[in-house]
Amino acid sequence: MKVNGTPYRSLWWNTDAEVLEIIDQRWLPHDFVTQPVETMEDFADAITEMRVRGAPLIGATAAYGIALKMALDPSDTSLEQAWTFLNGTRPTAINLRWALNRCRAQLMPLPEDERASAALRLAHEIADEDVEINRAIGRHGLEIIKEIAAKKDGEPVNILTHCNAGWLATVDWGTATSPMYHAHDAGIPIHVWVDETRPRNQGALTSWELGSHGIPHTYITDNAGGHLMQHGQVDMVITGTDRTTRAGDVCNKIGTYLKALAAKDNGVPFYVALPSPTIDWTVSDGVVEIPIEDRKEREITHVWGRNDAGKIAEVQVTPDGTPGGNPAFDVTPARLVTGLITERGVVAADEAAMIEMFPEFRAAS
Same domain, 49 and 96: yes
Q: List the beta bridge partners of residue 239.
A: 272
Q: Tell me the residue range of the domain where 123 lies.
A: 2-129
What is the total count of domains within the chain?
2
Q: What does the pLDDT read at residue 362?
A: 62
Helix, strand, coil: what percent of the chain each, to 5? 45, 20, 35
pLDDT for residue 363: 56
pLDDT for the residue numbered 4: 80
Cβ(165)–Cβ(129) below 8 Å: no
> Do 69 and 181 reside in the same domain of the chain?
no
Kindly report the pTM of this predicted structure: 0.94
Is 220 in the same domain as 310?
Answer: yes
Same domain? 114 vs 192: no
Residue 328 sits in a domain of what CATH number?
A: 3.40.50.10470
The verdict on 105 and 228 lying in the same domain is no
Confidence of residue 291 (pLDDT cuts 50, 70, 90): very high
Q: How far apart are CA 11 and CA 8, in angstroms?
A: 8
Strand pairing report for 236-239 and 345-347:
unpaired
pLDDT of residue 6: 86
* 154 and 125 assigned to the same domain: no
pLDDT one-digit tens code per residue, 62-102: 999 999 999 999 999 999 999 999 999 998 878 999 999 99
**Average pLDDT along the chain:** 95
Q: Label the pairing between strands 236-239 and 302-306.
A: unpaired
| Same domain assignment for residues 291 and 148 | yes
Residue-wise pLDDT tens digits, 305-349: 999 998 999 999 999 999 999 999 999 999 999 999 999 999 999
Radius of gyration for the alpha carbons in the chain, expressed in angstroms and rounded: 20
Domain boundary among 129, 148, 172: 129
pLDDT tens-digit map of 226-258: 999 999 999 999 999 999 999 999 999 999 999
**Closest Cα partner for 13 from 66, 50, 51, 61?**
61
Domain check: are 188 and 59 in the same one?
no
List residues with catalytic annotation. 242
289 Cβ partners below 8 Å, 6+ apart? 245, 283
* Domain C-terminal end among 129, 161, 180: 129
Same domain, 99 and 149: no
pLDDT tens, residue by residue, 248-290: 999 999 999 999 999 999 999 999 999 999 999 999 999 999 9
pLDDT tens digit sequence for 142-180: 999 999 999 999 999 999 999 999 999 999 999 999 999
| Domain endpoint, select from 94, 129, 164 | 129
User: Both 149 and 244 in a single domain?
Assistant: yes
Same domain, 283 and 168: yes
Please check whether residues 89 and 190 belong to one and the same domain.
no
Q: What is the pLDDT of residue 364?
A: 55
